[in-house]
Amino acid sequence: MSRKDSPKASKKASEKGKTKDKHAGKGAKKDANKDVTKAARKSDAKVPAKPVHAPRGQRGDAPREAPARPTAIDVAPEPRRNPAKSAAKRVSRAQQRDLLVAAAGRIQLPATADVVVCGGGAAGLVAAIAAAESGARTVVVERDLECGRKILATGNGRCNLTNLWLNADVYRHPAFVRRVCGEAWRDDVLRFFEESGLATCMEDEGRVYPLSRQAASVRDVLLARALRAGVMLAAGRTVAAVDTAVGTADGLAVHLDETAIGGTTAMLAARSVVVATGGASELAKGLGLAWVPTRPVLCPLACTGAPLAELDGRHAHARLSLARNGQELAVETGDLLFRTYGISGIAVFNLSRLAQPGDQVEADLLPELGLDAALLLARNAGTAAGVMDPQVARALGGGERAVRAAKCLRLAVTGLAEPNRAQVTAGGLDVVGFSPATLEATLAPGIFACGEALDVDGPCGGFNLAWAWKSGMVAGRAAAAHAAGNIGRHA
């Protein structure tokens, strides 16, 4: 993923484009594509796709399909920065960090807790709320200086918190997910947020957002509810290990590293521990439970096989088919964004859950038009510009040739692009080692897991957070029950 369509850049672009996001219901298609592509679009919008003084025949209104050439994006000057402003920003960030370190340092950890939740992200915060509201003395230990920071980055800063069409079949291990989440999953999540005081709204494809369209609303209501329930939020501390063999009355020893807040190490005894440390977690891996190797998913694909340099930055509404050795594995329809390295967009992100180097992606850039109908239109018009983005038409050779190419654009997958910016990690704690009724490890009583720490992932659209919330509720409640002596409830 280039800087233009990185989550960070997307978030920035989202913040800049806030005023454009008002027409929720109306801009259905636009919204569907926003998560991953808005930043790139924004970049396109800032700089005209063609230089203003383009020679005749190469302007946007050109009757002929001019040969592809570098877009203005390639030659756009670096944005000017105000050094004084940047320095002020740096200082205030440093000050902010100091304040957070000081606040985290003031939290006095108890010697024991009923439930210790490792990780104060989406799943961990909900698990802690569920445990505390069930009567357990609950502590969240979070490595970051604040809980719930990642929530702020979700959905381009708007947080697509769930989906109205939740369906276990779209997840890895659907049978397990179905048993954990139950029939009322969708309503459980919506009710949880309603009870937390969050107003929500629905956009296209069942995506649910906070009414404020601000991810901070989601994070803040969770933190407020956790504090109301009596949860202790201990940020700036990393759980280094969980010792299951200490033989104390409280059962488990949670070893902490407090160097981020100027401390050294600490130990917290707990009756139950909820592992909610997200994807690719060293802590989860070190528990000695069955482990599935992790890999990033929901990211762009690196590909070859199309004139990607000429197509860079162009969007198409496409039907994408992923195949391995001629066998179709998955089909996705949605926004496709061409990049020099390959392809991006929500549909591509979803395919990245299955794609491997050597796979083929066949893109139909005109899914609403049959080949014959498209050819006829192009013939009548003397250009393919009437049936597709003129720049895409030019890059694909123009006229009938472009139409034929657009109906069946073949790309060879060479790998994932920018995997370090992937939205989700597949793999993690193997679900076979966990009771779907309680999310307790069958071989390690008192250890529970939820969210991305488990080998469960879903497509874009609010499905991953929906899993985080619901699995957090299940694990938190069960951890509290275990702490209260109500044990041995494996299903």
Ligand X SMILES: Cc1cc2nc3c(=O)[nH]c(=O)nc-3n(C[C@H](O)[C@H](O)[C@H](O)COP(=O)(O)OP(=O)(O)OC[C@H]3O[C@@H](n4cnc5c(N)ncnc54)[C@H](O)[C@@H]3O)c2cc1C
* Whether 164 contacts 206, CB under 8 Å: yes
Least CB distance to ligand X at residue 123 (A)? 3
Footprint on residues 283-312 left by ligand X (CB under 6 A): 283
User: Is the Cβ of residue 12 or residue 150 nearer to ligand X in the bound state?
Assistant: 150
Least CB distance to ligand X at residue 158 (A)? 7
User: Residues 65, 104, 119, 446: which binds ligand X (CB under 6 A)?
Assistant: 119
Per the DSSP assignment, residues forming a β-bridge with 162 are 208
- 423 belongs to the binding site for ligand X (CB under 6 A): yes
> Would you say how long the chain is, in residues?
491
DSSP-derived secondary structure for 254-285: EEEE-GGGT--EEEEEEEEEEE---TT-HHHH
Least CB distance to ligand X at residue 126 (A)? 8
Say whether 445 sits in a helix, a strand or coil: coil
Least CB distance to ligand X at residue 477 (A)? 16
- 122 belongs to the binding site for ligand X (CB under 6 A): yes
Cβ burial of 325 (10 Å; 0-12, 13-18, 19+) is exposed
Q: Tokens at residue 54, please?
A: 């383009």
User: Is the Cβ of residue 19 or residue 420 nearer to ligand X in the bound state?
Assistant: 420
One symbol per residue from 246 to 285: x for binding ligand X (CB under 6 A), - otherwise; what is it? ------------------------------xxx--x-x--
User: Is the Cβ of residue 31 or residue 142 nearer to ligand X in the bound state?
Assistant: 142
Q: Give the Å distances, CA to CA, from 366 to 38, 64, 330, 403, 460.
A: 21, 21, 18, 8, 23
Q: Tokens at residue 53, please?
A: 């003084």
Please give the backbone phi and psi of residue 39, each rounded to the nearest 5 degrees, phi first: -60, -45
User: Is the Cβ of residue 142 or residue 364 nearer to ligand X in the bound state?
Assistant: 142
* Whether 468 contacts 449, CB under 8 Å: no
User: Is the Cβ of residue 424 or residue 431 nearer to ligand X in the bound state?
Assistant: 424
- 455 belongs to the binding site for ligand X (CB under 6 A): no
In whole angstroms, give the CA distance from residue 447 to residue 444.
6
User: Residues 124, 236, 390, 428: which binds ligand X (CB under 6 A)?
Assistant: 124
- 40 belongs to the binding site for ligand X (CB under 6 A): no
- Judged by CB under 6 A, the number of residues near ligand X is 35
- 452 belongs to the binding site for ligand X (CB under 6 A): yes
DSSP-derived secondary structure for 165-177: T--GGGSSSHHHH
Long-range contacts of 330-335 (CB under 8 A, 24+ apart): 330/354, 333/367, 334/32, 334/33, 335/32, 335/33, 335/36, 335/37
Angle at 244 between CA 241 and CA 247, to 5 degrees: 130
* Whether 239 contacts 176, CB under 8 Å: no
User: Is the Cβ of residue 160 or residue 344 nearer to ligand X in the bound state?
Assistant: 160
Instruction: Identify the H or E element spanning 228.
Output: helix 215-228
Least CB distance to ligand X at residue 278 (A)? 3
CB half-sphere exposure, 354, CA atoms < 13 A: 21
User: Is the Cβ of residue 150 or residue 295 nearer to ligand X in the bound state?
Assistant: 150
Q: How many other β-carbons are positioned within 10 Å of the β-carbon of residue 265? A: 11
Least CB distance to ligand X at residue 380 (A)? 43
User: Is the Cβ of residue 237 or residue 314 nearer to ligand X in the bound state?
Assistant: 237
Least CB distance to ligand X at residue 156 (A)? 7
One symbol per residue from 385 to 404: x for binding ligand X (CB under 6 A), - otherwise; what is it? --------------------
Footprint on residues 130-189 left by ligand X (CB under 6 A): 141-144, 150, 153-155, 159-160
Least CB distance to ligand X at residue 110 (A)? 17
User: Is the Cβ of residue 123 or residue 406 nearer to ligand X in the bound state?
Assistant: 123
Chain mean position to CA 188: 21
Q: Give the Å distances, CA to CA, from 377 to 369, 371, 372, 385, 427.
A: 10, 10, 9, 10, 48
In whole angstroms, give the CA distance from residue 468 to residue 424.
12
**The dihedral of CA 103, 105, 110, 113: what is its sign?**
positive
User: Is the Cβ of residue 65 or residue 452 nearer to ligand X in the bound state?
Assistant: 452
Footprint on residues 313-352 left by ligand X (CB under 6 A): none
State the residue number with the nearest CB to ligand X. Answer: 121
User: Is the Cβ of residue 6 or residue 360 nearer to ligand X in the bound state?
Assistant: 6
One symbol per residue from 460 to 489: x for binding ligand X (CB under 6 A), - otherwise; what is it? --xxxx--x---------------------
Choices 93-101, 103-111, 116-124, 326-334 (CB under 6 A): range interacting with ligand X: 116-124
Footprint on residues 217-246 left by ligand X (CB under 6 A): 238-239
DSSP-derived secondary structure for 23-70: -TTTTHHHHHHHHHHHHHHHHHHHS-SS-TTPPTTSSTT-SS-PPP--
User: Is the Cβ of residue 210 or residue 433 nearer to ligand X in the bound state?
Assistant: 210
Least CB distance to ligand X at residue 212 (A)? 15
Using CB under 6 A as the criterion, which residues of the chain lie in contact with ligand X when the complex forms?
Answer: 7, 118-124, 141-144, 150, 153-155, 159-160, 238-239, 276-278, 281, 283, 423-424, 451-453, 462-465, 468
